[in-house]
């Protein structure tokens, strides 16, 4: 069964990305302007999605903040994917000793509580801004994928066609680029998309807990950091609207990623 191409997800995602990138004509208000006469206003004609407790217009903040969330997600995913592919493929190709050291190291970093790792790495970079946070999320998110890449490289290295290529005199780089890379590409692409997704979640969760971007830097996560106080003032729009955009983006990314992974289970079930 071939998977259907997720048209709706792609369109929605493209729309969100374009609207966020070209946000200036979209914004009806200045997202950073605090209109103190209109704090916690419900969605209405003037403020399409309402205002938060500092009187900022949520409709404008969504697009403006989306740009930052997406930037962090993309940058962090770029860093973590590059690291994961590097470590994973080196570990998969190298001698048993180097492989052992690299994998032990990976497991060790995995066993440090993620929160501590993030907080102390962030400390090295100083105050959190878009770029430092991306680097921190990127540097803390590569371990799982590196292990997967390593396993795949080892498995591919054991296949008959690689053996055949080597027997025919193929050099290391020939095997790498002609046989390993094309086979690795779909799963790496899938994981890269998932990393974008995870990085967006990580940014949102960190900013929400007050460990990431500060409230003044608008992103979907930092918008939600006002949520706990919004609970008490019954201002549901402060909680629901940024979260819906966040979840929608994540869902589109997941659908695209699943498609890229390619279709499994081609054989017919023996059970029926």
Q: Output the smallest distance, CB 48 to another protein, in A.
A: 20
Residues in contact with another protein, shown as a per-residue x/- string from 88 to 127 under the rule CB under 8 A: ----xx--x--xx---x--xx-xxxxxxxx-xx--xx---
Residues 187-216 that bind another protein (CB under 8 A): 197, 201, 204-205, 208-211
Residues 6+ apart with CB under 8 A from 164: none
- Number of helical H runs and strand E runs in the chain: 12, 0
Provide the CA 19 distance to its chain's centre, in angstroms.
Answer: 19
CA-atom Rg of the chain in angstroms? 22
Residues in contact with another protein, shown as a per-residue x/- string from 235 to 254 under the rule CB under 8 A: -x--xx--x--xx--xx--x
User: For another protein, how many residues bind (rule: CB under 8 A)?
Assistant: 62
Cβ proximity of 226 and 53 under 8 Å:
yes
Residues in the chain: 272
Asked if 263 interacts with another protein (CB under 8 A), we say no
Instruction: Give the Cα separation of 134 and 22 in Å (integer).
Output: 21
Q: In degrees rounded to 5, what are phi and psi of residue 241?
A: -70, -50
Helices (H), 94-142: 96-111, 114-125, 130-140
| 167 burial via Cβ count (<10 Å: 0-12, 13-18, 19+) | exposed
* From candidates 163, 185, 229, 262, binder to another protein by CB under 8 A: 163
Q: Output the smallest distance, CB 271 to another protein, in A.
A: 5
As a dihedral over the C-alpha atoms of residue 139, residue 143, residue 145, residue 151, rounded to 10 degrees, the angle is: 150
Q: Output the smallest distance, CB 98 to another protein, in A.
A: 11
Residue 268 is classified by DSSP as P
* From candidates 10, 26, 78, 227, binder to another protein by CB under 8 A: 227
Q: Output the smallest distance, CB 218 to another protein, in A.
A: 17
Instruction: Give the Cα separation of 249 and 210 in Å (integer).
Output: 22
Q: Output the smallest distance, CB 123 to another protein, in A.
A: 4
Q: Output the smallest distance, CB 229 to another protein, in A.
A: 12
Q: Output the smallest distance, CB 138 to another protein, in A.
A: 17
Asked if 1 interacts with another protein (CB under 8 A), we say yes
Query: For binding to another protein (CB under 8 A), which residues are involved?
Result: 1, 92-93, 96, 99-100, 104, 107-108, 110-117, 119-120, 123-124, 153-154, 157-158, 162-163, 166, 175, 197, 201, 204-205, 208-211, 224, 227-228, 231-232, 234, 236, 239-240, 243, 246-247, 250-251, 254-255, 258, 264-265, 267-272
């Amino acid at each position: 069964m071939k998977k259907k191409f997720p048209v709706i997800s792609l369109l929605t995602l493209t729309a969100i990305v374009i609207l966020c990138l070209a946000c200036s004509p979209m914004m009806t208000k200045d997202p950073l302007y605090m209109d103190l006469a209109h704090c916690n206003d419900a969605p209405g004609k003037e403020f399409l999605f309402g205002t938060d407790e500092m009187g900022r217009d949520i409709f404008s903040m969504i697009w403006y903040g989306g740009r930052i969330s997406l930037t962090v997600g993309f940058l962090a995913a770029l860093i973590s994917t590059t690291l994961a592919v590097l470590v994973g493929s080196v570990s998969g190709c190298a001698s048993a000793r180097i492989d052992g050291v690299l994998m032990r190291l990976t497991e060790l970093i995995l066993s440090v509580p993620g929160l501590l790792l993030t907080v102390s790495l962030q400390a090295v970079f100083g105050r959190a801004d878009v770029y430092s946070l991306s680097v921190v999320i990127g540097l803390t998110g590569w371990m799982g994928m590196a292990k997967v890449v390593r396993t795949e490289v080892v498995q591919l290295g054991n296949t008959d066609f690689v053996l055949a290529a080597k027997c025919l005199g193929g050099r290391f780089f020939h095997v790498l680029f002609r046989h390993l890379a094309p086979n690795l590409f779909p799963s790496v692409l899938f994981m890269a998309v998932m990393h974008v997704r995870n990085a967006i979640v990580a940014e949102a969760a960190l900013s929400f807990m007050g460990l990431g971007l500060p409230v003044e830097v608008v992103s979907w996560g930092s918008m939600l950091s006002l949520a706990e106080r919004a609970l008490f003032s019954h201002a549901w729009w402060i909680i629901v609207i940024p979260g819906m955009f966040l979840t929608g983006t994540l869902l589109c990314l997941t659908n695209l990623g699943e498609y890229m992974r390619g279709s499994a289970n081609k054989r017919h079930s023996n059970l029926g």
